[in-house]
Each structure stands twice: as C-alpha cells, then as structure tokens.
C-alpha cells in the first residue's frame, strides 16, 4: 500500500469513493507516519487509535467527511480525551463532553483521533510555552513551528495529519500555518461556535481549520460553521457553501495593499516573496490598490490589553477547587489558591494574568481597558473603510521566517511582535487566511513564507475563492512539497 499520509482531504475522499483504499487503511498509513516522523517533530501530545480504528471500520464514506481523520488542538474538548491546554493546571483533566465543532465533525463522518501540542492556554507564538514538550518545525527541526497552534500546523506540514483544528486569538492559526507552509483559516468572529473551546480571550477567540489546500479548508468550513444555541456569540446565518467560489480566477478582483503592513524591520526575504506573490496576482488579472489602515500601530498595545484582561477573567476559574491542579497540604484557603495557581501555570500565562488583572483594576480600567476598546473600534473602522474600495486585502502573515528554538524566550516583546500582522484581524472580527507563497533558502534548508488574504466579516466564501485562485495559478504545489 502506498503512503496515503501525503494525500489531501479532497484526494482522500475521492480515493475512498473510488474504492482505491478504505478509511481504515488511510488511518493505518497515518499511524505509521506518526510513528516514524512525530518523534522528531513533537506535534502530538496523545493519540487514540483504538477508538479511531473502530470509527474508521464503520465509516460512511458518503458523508461529507466520511472516514477522514482530523487532529485536534489540545484546547478543544473531545469527550473521553485529555484536554490539558498544554498546561500542568489541567494535566489530569479528561473532557466529559464534545465541543460543538467536534460534534459537527462526527456528524459529517470525520474521525477526531489525536491531541496536538500548543502554547499553554494558547498564550504564545512559538509553541515553546507548552508544559509538556516543544514542537519543532518540520522544515527545520531547530526552529519553532509558530504558535499557539504549532502542533496543528506542524502535524499537517509533516504529513502526520490530513487536516487539523486550531484556534486563533491573535494569529494562532495563520502564523504557524505560514511558518510551516500550510493553509490556515481564521473565520469571522461568530461564524464558528466556541462552545467547548477553553477560553483565552472570549471576544477574540475563533476555531478554524488547517490543511494542505484552500479547498480542504473550505470543505471543513462547510461542516464547522453555523449557529449554536450553546454559544450566544455564534451568529444565526443561512447555511453557506464555502466551496462555491473555488475554481475561479483573479480577473477583476480588487486587492488592497495595506501600506502599514510593508514596513522597515521585517525580513527583506519575506517581503520579497510576498511582493512577488502579489505581482503574480496582478499578472492573473487582479487590480492592486494601495489602502491605509492608519491605526495599525496601536494594534499590538490594544491587543495585549484586551486579550490579557479577558484571560485574567477566564482563567480565574482554575483555582484547584473543582478541577485542575491542586497544591499538596495547603496551610489555609489563601495558601491553597496561591500555590495551586503558582504550580499549575507557566511563566507566560502568569505574565498575562498579572497584566490583565492590572489593566482591569480600580484606577486603571478607564486609562487602559476602556481606552483600548475605543481604539479597537477605530481599528475595525479602518478595515470597513478599506473594504469599501477592495474585495480583499493581501499582506505578509508573519514579518519573519520561523526563528530558532530559544531565540526569543527571554524577550517577550520581540515574541509578541511576531503577530504584528495578524492581531488586528481578531480585533476587527474579520476573516483571514494564510497561504504559502514561496521559500527562502537558509543554511541548506527551505523555509516557507506565508501570505495573508484578509476579507470583510462573514465574507469567507469570496476570500477562499481568491486564495484558491492564487494557489492554483502560482505554480507552487505546497500540497506536494515535503520537508526534508
């Protein structure tokens, strides 16, 4: 049997329906790939192949995702599986229920089978903040895969997952997708239910797919999207076919080039690859229009006020009383709370809780949190005004190539700036998708570069169509590009 782990989701489904192979054979091929490749990558925290084999043996291949194994970020609840958020705080927690996205995947015939590493509680840009292991970039194992959904991106890039789910609070799907050379979609806020996603920042978090092609992401979105009565922030919208705009070309498409996203300080090689990709879009008939997002300079500061404030509130529930890490032999209740949280949380999570508690505190709320919310409104208006002129924006996903493991762990500000081109998308609640757009050769290694298409809120179908047109025409078959 050939190595089926290199197939896309679309190819996998076609093979099932032709009778070329079975879901059980595909799962076994994936299991072999994980056994041989993941020890060097560290994308997985756990796998449940026993349950997955039973599901594969009885899979209905006529369902939309019938028999397709999907790997899951460790912040999304799957009944009977660990949901640790890569944290000692939840080291022994087993989920008692399925997140809505997992229920939807199961109903569509997909098979959730593995837990993927991440930055602890989704707080980080490199997957170095996991309490359990570091995940490595498949293109160069001395480098980070991005974060916080580093395991989700690295598994797809290393061909140890056909597709995966991640979550994106400030770039946590798109940035690792760019650094690992895969496709990652952050849906509009409210498009996908967050029920069952362990909350980091509730007004920013979104679940989304990572895969090898835009087509695969669109197919997954057909399953993931929709109103959920258990998530009051999910939007009640008519069912939409996110594959409807696939197969078109770029003629007549108006692409906005935000001048604030091409700045001094970014890696010149990244800039060169992205500019070449944008020029290719123009050669395919797209019209390029310079636009301005004047409040971009405030996005990082606004994000790290709002996100940390919401994290402080969301993580208050982890007190060692009902569940989670509990300190041994506390002297009293205060000692119990302090030591349980001290021992259970890592340094980055503590840093953000402290910052968030500070900006919410009496005397500072108006000066920081309230002001940040007002600037957030200005950032959203920047995008609304830009989309009056263009169909989508195009820009770099990350200002840098994947950096070396340990290179930025002692420099939080520099680490935070890794998301400078992605966080405004979450603040504005719009959709964004990262696609590979080339390689940079460094020390004998090929390192991927990602380009980001940004669309107005709830415009995923058009955004996916634009990205698909670029992907099919650019001459770079990343679905076939394999790390050495």
> How many domains in the chain?
1
Q: Residue 66: which residues within 8 A CB-CB, separation 6 or more?
A: 13, 16, 23, 59, 60, 108, 109, 110
Ranges of the chain with pLDDT below 50: none
Q: What is the pLDDT of residue 1?
A: 56
The range of the structural domain enclosing residue 233 comes to 4-255+387-473
3-state secondary structure of 322: coil
Its pTM surpasses 0.85: yes
Half-sphere exposure of 151 (CA within 13 A, CB side): 34
Tens of pLDDT, residue by residue over 107-166, are 999 999 999 999 999 999 999 999 999 999 999 999 999 999 999 999 999 999 999 999
The pLDDT value given to residue 81: 98
In a domain, 322, yes or no: no
What amino acid positions are annotated as catalytic residues?
Answer: 73, 148, 172
Question: Which residue matches tokens 């194992």?
Answer: 141
pLDDT of residue 263: 85
Structure tokens at 251: 């003629």
In a domain, 317, yes or no: no
pLDDT number for residue 484: 63
pLDDT of residue 481: 73
Displacement of CA 388 from its chain's centroid (Å): 27
**Residue with the two structure tokens 């690992």:** 180
- The C-alpha atoms of residue 397 and residue 421 are separated, in whole angstroms, by 6
Strands 44-47, 163-168: pairing is: unpaired
Q: What is the pLDDT of residues 19-67, one digit of tens each?
A: 999 999 999 999 999 999 999 999 999 999 999 999 999 999 999 999 9
On whether residue 448 sits in a domain, the answer given is yes
pLDDT at position 271: 97
Task: Report yes or no on 392 lying in a domain.
Answer: yes
| Residue at 237 is within a domain | yes
**Is the bond preceding 233 in cis, omega lying within 30 degrees of 0?**
no
In a domain, 337, yes or no: no
CATH classification of the domain holding 469 = 3.90.1300.10
- Please check whether residue 215 lies inside any domain of the structure: yes
């Amino acid at each position: 049997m050939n190595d089926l782990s290199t197939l896309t989701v679309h190819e996998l489904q076609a093979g099932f329906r032709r009778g070329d192979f079975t879901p059980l054979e595909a799962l076994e091929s994936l299991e072999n790939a994980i056994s041989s490749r993941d020890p060097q990558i560290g994308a997985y925290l756990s796998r449940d192949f026993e349950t997955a084999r039973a599901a594969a043996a009885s899979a209905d291949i006529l369902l939309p995702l019938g028999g397709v194994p999907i790997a899951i970020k460790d912040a999304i609840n799957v009944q009977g599986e660990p949901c640790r958020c890569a944290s000692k705080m939840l080291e022994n927690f087993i989920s008692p229920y399925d997140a809505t996205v997992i229920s939807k995947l199961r109903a569509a015939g997909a098979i959730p089978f593995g837990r993927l590493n991440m930055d602890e509680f989704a707080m980080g840009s490199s997957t170095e903040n996991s309490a359990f292991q570091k995940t490595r970039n498949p293109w160069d194992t001395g480098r980070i895969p991005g974060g916080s959904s580093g395991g989700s991106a690295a598994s797809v890039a290393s061909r140890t997952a056909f597709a995966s789910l991640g979550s994106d609070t400030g770039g946590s799907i798109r940035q690792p997708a760019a650094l690992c050379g895969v496709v990652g979609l952050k849906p509009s806020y409210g498009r996908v239910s967050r029920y069952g996603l362990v909350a980091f920042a509730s007004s920013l978090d979104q679940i989304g797919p990572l895969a090898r092609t835009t087509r695969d992401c669109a197919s997954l979105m057909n399953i993931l999207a929709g109103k959920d009565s258990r998530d009051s922030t999910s939007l009640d919208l008519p069912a939409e076919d996110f594959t409807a705009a696939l197969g078109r070309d770029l003629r007549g498409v108006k692409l906005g080039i935000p001048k604030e996203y091409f700045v001094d300080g970014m890696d010149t090689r990244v800039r060169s690859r992205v500019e070449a990709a944008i020029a290719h879009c123009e050669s395919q008939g797209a019209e390029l229009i310079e636009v301005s997002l004047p409040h971009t300079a405030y996005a990082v500061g606004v994000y790290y006020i709002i996100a940390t404030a919401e994290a402080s509130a969301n993580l208050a529930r982890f007190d060692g009383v009902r569940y989670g890490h509990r300190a041994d032999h506390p002297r009293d209740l205060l000692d119990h709370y302090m030591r349980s949280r001290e021992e259970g949380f890592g340094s980055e999570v503590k840093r953000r809780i402290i910052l968030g508690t500070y900006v919410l505190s009496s005397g500072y709320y108006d000066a920081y949190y309230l002001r940040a919310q007002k600037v957030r409104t200005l950032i959203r208006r920047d995008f609304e005004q830009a989309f009056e002129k263009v169909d989508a924006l195009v820009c770099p996903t990350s200002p840098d190539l994947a950096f070396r493991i340990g290179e930025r762990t002692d420099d939080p500000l520099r680490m935070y700036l890794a998301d400078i081109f992605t966080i405004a998308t979450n603040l504005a609640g719009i959709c964004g998708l990262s696609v590979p757009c080339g390689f940079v050769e460094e020390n004998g290694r090929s390192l991927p570069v990602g380009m980001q298409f940004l669309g107005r809120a709830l415009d995923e179908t058009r955004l996916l169509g634009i990205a698909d047109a670029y992907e099919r025409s650019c001459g770079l078959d990343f679905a076939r590009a394999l790390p050495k």
